[in-house]
Amino acid sequence: MQYSSKLPNVSTSIFSVMSTLANKHNALNLSQGFPNFKSDQKLIDLVSRAMNSGHNQYAPMPGLLSLREALSRKFEMLYQSTYDPELEITITAGATQAIFTALSAFVGQDDEVIIFKPAYDCYEPTIELNGGKTIAIQLEAPHYKVNWEYVQEMISEKTKMIIINTPHNPSGTLLSKEDMLKMQELLMGTDILVLSDEVYEHIIFDNEVHQSVCRFSDLKNRSFITASFGKTFHNTGWKMGYCCAPKELMSEFRKVHQFNVFSVNHPIQIALAEYLNESKHYEGLSSFYQQKRDMFLNLISSSRFKFTPAKGTYFQVLDFSDISMENDIEFAKNMTIEKKLAAIPLSVFNENGLDHKALRFCFAKNEDTLKGAAEILCKL
């Protein structure tokens, strides 16, 4: 058979590569972003109860209304912003599906989408699949600040959408209120959409505040927010997320969603709705993960790695330029094989593989794992 690939330049994800290497060599895995500790037993029990109570058939296409209502209340409480649970919130099979669906609903042949690199690796392939063109703007280490004047120069009559990610994976940085106001001013009077990837919205450090697009009226009117229950409740394997957008945008989103997955896990939705109504678990996430970040950085303070403490997410970037001049992919692979510690090289997220000699480490791990990783890092 002869066929042509729609994604000819896409290979196996770096997350799969590094996790496979970690498993093969019995290495501590701080590469892929998942917790290695248990989530709240109460939430797990609620899922089991929902299954045993018979909630095992299709959920409504946009998601369980009680869950969407709980999310609407959360947005009003945290951000003083309102989304109609009937028309403006959809439950998705993880944030990645929400991102795929939003892009597929609006990006067509030759449309341009601006992204900021280092960027999470699902954006660009989805743009390409839909016939669009990625306009990548490289952010410079270690601060990863956006130059909005340059962004303005990159906007053209073909620009359909801008994708932002705050708190930012992989750098652990945040977009500030000033950033959001500049973007809002820049887009005012245009038809350009915004896709705001906010999966780490509840993991913010050092008394900073999450600047969701929904805090800014003009941005909100043109934006999708994608978010993740898995990141919030330590259950990444459940692949549960959600999307919020004004009803006109959400109507188009749901046209794609219904033929993509139609609906998502029913008993987990039942459990999440009850859990959100009874618990404000997410309010403690920042302090929970800041303790882990601080412990990890204190443990490696005597190492030769350089770093700026992450402002959000559960990832910490470490600069190894004082240790080796290997490219970051080789350094990461050798560290996994020889030192038994796995991390993610940042060049895979950068434009043209730009190598800042930096690795991303996930600190959503238990204390023993972090201590073991730090012991290895301090010997390099």
Terminal Cα-to-Cα distance of the chain (whole angstroms): 50
Residues 227 and 238: their CA atoms lie apart, in Å, by: 14
Q: So what's the pLDDT on residue 262?
A: 96
In this structure, the chain runs to a length of 380
* 3-state SS string for the chain: CCCCCCCCCCCCCHHHHHHHHHHHCCCEECCCCCCCCCCCHHHHHHHHHHHHCCCCCCCCCCCCHHHHHHHHHHHHHHHCCCCCCCCCEEEECHHHHHHHHHHHHHCCCCCEEEEEECCCCCHHHHHHHCCCEEEEEECCCCCCCCCHHHHHHHCCCCEEEEEEECCCCCCCCCCCHHHHHHHHHHHCCCCCEEEEECCCCCCECCCCCCCCHHHCHHHHHCEEEEEEHHHHHCCHHHCCEEEECCHHHHHHHHHHHHHHCCCCCHHHHHHHHHHHHHCCHHHHHHHHHHHHHHHHHHHCCCCCCECCCCCECCEEEEECCCCCCCCHHHHHHHHHHHHCEECEEHHHHCHHHCCCCEEEEECCCCHHHHHHHHHHHHCC
- What pLDDT was estimated at residue 1? 85
Are 268 and 238 in contact, with CB atoms under 8 Å apart? yes
Residue 60: CB atoms within 10 A of its CB come to 14
Q: Could you give the domains of the chain?
A: 14-39+283-378 (3.90.1150.10), 57-280 (3.40.640.10)
Give the pairing of strands 133-138 and 341-342. Answer: unpaired
Picking from 305, 311, 312, the residue whose alpha carbon sits closest to that of residue 343 is 305
Q: What pLDDT shows up at residue 11?
A: 83
Note the pLDDT of residue 280: 84
| Amino acid 9: pLDDT | 87
pTM over the 0.85 mark: yes
344-345 and 112-117 beta bridge pairing: unpaired
Encoded tokens for 242: 């959600």
User: Are the C-beta atoms of 331 and 345 separated by less than 8 Å?
Assistant: yes
* pLDDT of 279: 81
Rounded to whole angstroms, the Cα distance separating 45 from 50 reads: 9
Q: Which residues of the chain have pLDDT under 50?
A: none
Q: Which two tokens stand for residue 26?
A: 């019995």
Tokens (6 digits) for 140:
């410079």
- Pairing of β 223-228 and β 159-165: unpaired
Q: What is the pLDDT of residue 12?
A: 86
